[in-house]
Structure 1
Amino acid sequence: MSLSSAIGAISTFNECVTFWQWARSAISSLHSQWSGSQEQELQGRVLQLESGLQVLRDTLPAMHDLINKAEWRSHDDAVAKLLPSLKDAVFDAEDLIDEFRWYEKKVQAEGNASQSPFIDFFDTVIQGSFNKLSVVQSRLNHLSVQLEKMELRGVAQRFDTLVRPETTSLLIETKIFGRDKELKQVLEFLNVPINLKRKRATSSVNASTSTSASNHVNSESGPPVLVIGGIGGVGKTTLAQLICSHQPVRSHFKKIIWICASDDFDVKRLTKKVIQSCTGKEAKTDNLDSLQHALSNHVSNKRLLIVLDDVWDDALKENGQCWKRFCAPFRSVQEGSAMLVTTRCSNVSEGVRTMEPVILEGLQDTIFWNFFKSCAFGSEGSNNDPELECIGRSILPKLKGSPLAAKTLGCILSMDLQASHWNFILESELWELKQKETDILPALRLSYMYLPYYLKRCFAFCAVYPKDYKFQKEHLAELWAVEGFVEPESGVPIQSIGCQYFEELVARSFFQKVSGGYVIHDLLHDMAQKVSEHDCFILRNKSDFDKVPPNVRHLLIHPVGDIDHSNLLSLCKYKKLRTLLCDEVFNEKKNPIMGSWCTELLHMRVMSCLYTKKLPDNIGNWKHLRYLQISGPFSLKIPSTFCWLYNLQILYARESKLQILARDFGKLIGLQKFETQKLTLNSENQLGPGIRLLKNLKFRGALEIANVGILSNHHAAEAELKNMIYLEELKLNIQNREVVEVLQPPISLKSLFLQNYGGSSLPSWFQPQNLPSLESLQIESCGGPESMSLNEIPAFLSLVDMTIKW
């Protein structure tokens, strides 16, 4: 069938409410091209496609939940094997749904009078049968059935005892390295005589700590709470066990109660455990009131040390009432009692502590080296193989002072005392090494496991950045939003929700605030790379190209070695790529690479490319693209196909000068934020739609609007330049006074250039109170104004540069 003779009929379509109504109307309007049975068949296929996509949309939430449950059972080899396939199938489904959103936006942008939407839809979807839908749905169904056979549907989202065994107060380690300072801090808090070197502490120390402790003990609030915090594997539990085994502590308190809280902070369960610890007998009743009264009686007027080991943020549920309910029976304890809480969650620390917490960092270098030697060689002795010791010292920095990391690597190294084995460990990434469930990365993975699913996706994405990368909250929130990781909330900007996500991860200690931004602890970064090993990858050298996962979704090119043209071209085989962050400089010889990417990598959502001098003509192929960052002090003419990026939300070209045809710019209906050094809107055909779009943007930078009398004052008014609070520079090359009058700039404007203005007087908004930040003023070739009152210019108090020509 030929469409060319029937295209004119499309212009007669009435505006349809939905994309699918539009598609059915398109087929009906071209009914002369088909027989009745052919038209009926096409309508049936459209209906089937619409129904199938809705089923797929309805399926996705259940699939996300299944991924979450599978991650809780990822220590099971069979589940771990299926998990990457399940994630990959879900990502494929998301891409498929997203592709249809592009068609919907194309109809919205092009309008019913356009031929383009139907041609694309007809050729790609209907004529091409578009069997991807059934393939994706079938794969999801198959994987779901496989996981159901493993009884995954009803799995409890709690830590398996295999990966998080219950702790006790008994000290497991035969020797403790370091921690004298922290031990002293805790003993001072407990008001216990400090005798670390078997010498009686001075009275001044005892006096100060006694006063400090007594200030926090009263019958209304219960015993004071000291938190021992730090990331997994840093030694929090070991320090708590050391305290409990310390003889002066045991003598000081009537009883020490140790409770392993772990990830299920159930008040009734924990109260029963405390009663059993006090009495040696299991509580029979399930009535919480009876349990709490019984516990209150058992602890009344006794000086107790209560240790809650491994508390997670579910202790703060119900707006903190859960924690208060648990603590209520302890109000009857004797003055001098105390509570220790160990946690890796900083929000737990803030929610339960009554004084400054003790935060454990990695062990100091000398102490850590001695501990590492004892793990790797079986002793601290210095008579070990000098070559191995040299390699060991090179391995040490990647462990960041973590005792559990030292144990993990020490165990792996001790299995083979050959230099070749030790060098292999040195050259390997920690996350690539196979580890037991009690080793460092599985221990850190518990922090990840306990995250809500929406935060898991956000944090795992961070593995695409190198270690020590300084994250900016707003920037990362933008990327999470465009990647589809942020769940919309009615009336709240989606990037604001992304910032909330970031703060939640900060509260859970996944990010650490440093000067200039936030960083992820190296060991947590290793853990992030482990949980996202099939999805994220960093390319540094040529050899890394052989290690890229086949279904990689997010890729960073961060060269420290030689990466050539052929290497970059080889990325075209990773068809499912969504994110490409390039630190590589693209010179003119490498321009064809980006063109090849636009042909082959058709699921791209985020593209960040440094020093690009040219955008390829086929950039319109990136139907999924939402975020584009280009940089370099160049003048870029945007190709006409750029207007096909209907999903584009954020465009950064901070150092570039862009020339955009306004008729194309107006089709970017998804664009929300746009920063450039200078934007020129030309007057070819339709300036109105382009300038009208400006009012919906967080446009930052310089804007130039030029026309030859085409722009109407109605369209100019729709731009609402006055509300563009981020606009810093404005150049108006417009003759019509009425148009210029309605293009009043915002009060934040710093630079104004008025050219070829034909009005008899300057616009009414040219007043100091309307432009209080104006620093630079240039008026050129403005023959219209009969007079200018230069006496008023000094009233522009910020003005430092003024030029008047012709």
Structure 2
Amino acid sequence: MAGLAFPLATKLIEKLGSITSEQICLAWGVKADLKKLQRTISIIKDVLLDAEQKQERNQQIRSWLRQLKDVFLDAEDLLDEFECEALRREVVETFHGTTGKVRRFFSRSNPIAFRFRVGNEIKEIRERLDELKSNKALFDSLTILPHRDGGDHHERPFVPASKVIGRESEKEEIVNLLMQQGDDDQSGNSNNKVSVIPIVGIGGLGKTTLAKWVYDDKRVVGHFELRMWASVPVDFELTRLTRLILGSALDTEISDKLTPDQLQRRLREALKDKKFLLVLDDVWKDDALKWSQLRDLLIEGAKSGSKILVTTRSTTVASIMGTVPANINLEFLSHNDSLSLFVECAFKEGHEKQYPSLFKMGEAIVRKCGGVPLAVKTLGSQLYSKTDEREWKLVRDSEIWELKQEDGHILPALRLSYTRLPPHLRQCLAYCSQLQKDRIGYASYALIGYWMAHGILDQSRAHGNMELEDIGELYFKDLWARSFFQNVIDCHTFYKFDMHDLIHDLVQSVAQDEYFTVKSAYTKDISENVRHLTFLEAGQNVSTMLQKLNKVQTVVADEIEIDESFLCTCFSRFKYLQVVALPGCSLQVLRISIGSQKHLRYLDLSYNEAITKLPNAICRLQSLQTLNLIGCVNLEEFPRDIRKLISLTSLWLTTKETSFTENGVGCLKSLRFLSIIECSNLTSLPRETSYLASLWTLWIYKCKQLDLGNVNYQGTPLRLQKLWIQGVPRMVALPEWLQGAANTLQILVIGCCENLEALPEWLASFTSLTKLIIGECPKLSSLSEGIRSLTSLRELVIENCPELEKIGPRFP
């Protein structure tokens, strides 16, 4: 599906129409050409909605849209040159003065050379667009359709587990089986104390939703001493799965440095003499040997009555793993249940009676969904609060319903739900194809950082003083409300989420030409126009394969060994790189050539423990917005010119340093997010106050020597909205300088601060505080009496603070 042409055209027109004054100087001499380019794109854009609707049945239109999308992407790269060049000029003028300006005149990036180079590229793009527009037979067959922005941000209904519709009998059957005391085993093994109950059904029927509903049932919670949940890797890899189960049992992340024997020993200890419930969600692999090995590990020492609940699409998997007389086989929802679910998602409560014609069209839409809850929820959410009958008719009568639904293909209802998205959300969802299908617990901040890096977020939609991160969170919540994300967990300052396999298949089909996963060194058939690459393997053969590519914008390699030739190839071939994510890739040295990546906006080097320093060349990345150095435990110092990263908004760091150097991190005036993680030697925050002028979120985690009061910030006005302090034993009281955030702080999380004794009286003046979370503070003996004055407070959680007496009778 080439469904991204329209949003790309929209974004290009906006960019061409809003070149800043600094960039206008750079564009002098090519400005007329840019205006002509804008007019050409506008003419083409008018017919793109019609083309995108017709492409499913017309191969010629589909090919034309694909070519058009490639030209738009090249044009976007070209326009990005203006932004990068403007940032370079700003750095020169700020830090280098006259000498830098003179040197710059003789460089390749001086304004005259720049205008000559981009002028030729603009001309080439215009010629390519004119050629595509000149296809009269195709172009004249397309009509102008009204543009439906759909950019509302209404509060949409989230259908909670307590409102699962049509699965009540299956739920009761499972709960009854879970409550039985070990006499339901049909495996023939009288010593087997752990029963296995499979839930079986095709994708989208709600197996995981049903399992979660059962998992959270009060009867089940009270019956088991330990409950665990693990989303099973596709390959059923035993060590990885053991780590996931152990992490759920201990409610913590388990180090990948533990050996298989260590993992198994710790899991046995966690399960010993406990009656447990384990959910193994989404099992694909029908490998009896691996299952036997895992089962033997789980049952050793387990108490009778322990249960394992398995969700799977495969009856073969169910027959291998199950021990009960019959599987829980999920059927399609009945029409009445499907309609009830649709009404929950599409109408405000009770409003379906006010719109009988819409309700009638909803009945027809529901029939076409074929009893698949995921399809019903997704389309219902798309139509929520819309009362224009034309919108509903377009869904009911869409040609997409006529597409043949074959095994392994995308459900028509899901295709339709994508095409009905507003353009800005289509681009955001398409980028989710970069997320690995066999991973769980994605973080919203990382996804939003990717969106920012690729310029997907539309600042023109901002209200008031909203930053790009806020716009990204709005988009995330909108896609969540439309049922494209699932299992969303509020982690106080961000969200964790998953994507249903069928939604993942949908986004991959949407962006199949742009995104590619390199699964082995011998991967072939990579399109020359691919923009985003994920590597599951790297090495010399992969580097050779990459030689034919030059338009790549994203390189992601997660916890794989990469060699020097791989990085050399990436940095020399891909001049438009915007995202480079290399977490846990055993990097020892970062090449100086990274300084040439002027378009780079997102750089993730986390958990590369061998890195001791970064080249100063990294400070030439004036477009860089996010730098992640968490887990770089041997990083000894930061580059001396780090203050030149004038666009840096998010910094995640781990360092061996005892203090921040002058003119360093504290001088980053654009910083909105700062995360200081496991800095065991660090004694204080940056002494400069420059970075505080823009900082919205501060995370501090496991910093044993850190004294938060060891800085003179008192009286400094702050914009801080979210503060997370965990594992800071030297904190006896909240630092006095925090009073500067009295009017802005919304979320305060304090955990594992073993010497914190009391909350200050001045906390009562925090008029914006909505959430206060305190846990594992054994010496905390009192809360400020003024806490009752926190009129904005909506959530108060206090856990494992044994010395705390009471808050007061008037506080709920």
2:513 match: secondary structure: coil
CA-to-aligned-CA distance 1:321-341 (integer Å, 9 cap, x gap): 99665328999xxxxxx9995
The one of 63, 70, 83 equivalent to 1:81 is: 63
Point out where structure 2 has 5 or more consecutive residues left out of the alignment: 1-19, 149-164, 170-201, 207-334, 370-374, 385-400, 490-494, 741-748, 756-776, 782-812
Aligned partner of 2:500 in structure 1 is 521
CA-to-aligned-CA distance 1:761-791 (integer Å, 9 cap, x gap): xxx97999999989599xxxxxxxxxxxxxx
Aligned pairs for 1:94-493 within 5 A? 94-111=76-93, 113=98, 114-115=100-101, 117-118=104-105, 119-122=107-110, 124-126=113-115, 128=117, 130-146=119-135, 149-155=139-145, 326-327=355-356, 341-342=366-367, 344-346=375-377, 349=380, 408-409=406-407, 430=408, 440=410, 444-470=414-440, 471-488=442-459, 489-490=461-462, 491-493=465-467
Shift of 1:523: 3.5
Identity rate, percent: 22
How many residue pairs were aligned?
503
Change (3 A) 1:86 1:323: farther
> Matched residues in 2 for 1:521 and 1:747: separation?
30
Shift of 1:606: 0.9
2:417 match: secondary structure: helix
Shift of 1:442: 5.1
Shift of 1:92: 0.5
Change (3 A) 1:124 1:586: farther
> Matched residues in 2 for 1:146 and 1:314: separation?
46
Q: Does 1:570 align with 2:526?
A: no
> Matched residues in 1 for 2:358 and 2:430: separation?
41
TM-score normalised over the length of structure 2: 0.51
Change (3 A) 1:314 1:497: farther
Change (3 A) 1:139 1:689: same
1:498 match: secondary structure: helix
1:547 match: secondary structure: coil
Change (3 A) 1:322 1:455: farther
Change (3 A) 1:638 1:564: closer
> Matched residues in 2 for 1:666 and 1:117: separation?
20
CA-to-aligned-CA distance 1:413-441 (integer Å, 9 cap, x gap): xxxxxxxxxxxxxxxxx56xxxxxxxx55
What amino acid is the match of 1:125? F
What amino acid is the match of 1:651? L
The one of 542, 551, 554 equivalent to 2:532 is: 554
> Matched residues in 2 for 1:772 and 1:309: separation?
45
CA contact (8 A) 1:445 1:527 kept: yes
CA contact (8 A) 1:695 1:718 kept: no
Computing the radius of gyration from Cα coordinates, the structure with the larger value is 1
> Matched residues in 1 for 2:686 and 2:497: separation?
46
The one of 686, 689, 695 equivalent to 1:717 is: 689
CA contact (8 A) 1:672 1:696 kept: yes
The one of 578, 591, 598 equivalent to 1:623 is: 598
> Matched residues in 1 for 2:605 and 2:480: separation?
29
> Matched residues in 1 for 2:516 and 2:575: separation?
19
What amino acid is the match of 1:346? K
Shift of 1:104: 0.5
1:537 match: secondary structure: strand
The one of 548, 553, 560 equivalent to 1:585 is: 560
CA RMSD of aligned residues (A): 5.5
What amino acid is the match of 1:408? E
What amino acid is the match of 1:104? A
Change (3 A) 1:84 1:723: closer
Larger fraction in helix: 1
> Matched residues in 2 for 1:89 and 1:329: separation?
40
Change (3 A) 1:121 1:580: same
Aligned pairs for 1:643-792 within 5 A? 643-656=619-632, 657-658=634-635, 663-678=640-655, 687-688=662-663, 690-693=665-668, 696-701=671-676, 716-720=688-692, 725-728=698-701, 748=725, 751=728
> Matched residues in 2 for 1:52 and 1:503: separation?
39
Q: Does 1:607 align with 2:580?
A: yes
> Matched residues in 1 for 2:365 and 2:167: separation?
12
What amino acid is the match of 1:521? H
Aligned partner of 2:613 in structure 1 is 637
Aligned partner of 2:28 in structure 1 is 47
Change (3 A) 1:316 1:636: same
Shift of 1:555: 1.2
> Matched residues in 1 for 2:357 and 2:586: separation?
62
Shift of 1:701: 1.1
What amino acid is the match of 1:664? D
Shift of 1:85: 0.6
> Matched residues in 1 for 2:91 and 2:566: separation?
29
CA-to-aligned-CA distance 1:680-712 (integer Å, 9 cap, x gap): 59999xx336522167241101598999xxxxx
CA contact (8 A) 1:68 1:453 kept: no
Q: Does 1:533 align with 2:512?
A: yes
> Matched residues in 2 for 1:231 and 1:549: separation?
30
1:655 match: secondary structure: coil
Shift of 1:726: 1.7
2:645 match: secondary structure: coil
TM-score normalised over the length of structure 1: 0.52
CA-to-aligned-CA distance 1:458-503 (integer Å, 9 cap, x gap): 2222223343432333322222222222222333232332233233
What amino acid is the match of 1:326? Y
1:542 match: secondary structure: coil
Change (3 A) 1:604 1:328: closer
Shift of 1:720: 3.6
Change (3 A) 1:127 1:451: closer
CA contact (8 A) 1:595 1:619 kept: no
What amino acid is the match of 2:432? C
CA-to-aligned-CA distance 1:174-212 (integer Å, 9 cap, x gap): xxxxxxx96999xxxxxxxxxxxxxxxxxxxxxxxxxxx
> Matched residues in 1 for 2:672 and 2:359: separation?
56
Shift of 1:674: 0.7
Shift of 1:51: 3.7
CA contact (8 A) 1:692 1:715 kept: no
Change (3 A) 1:592 1:731: farther
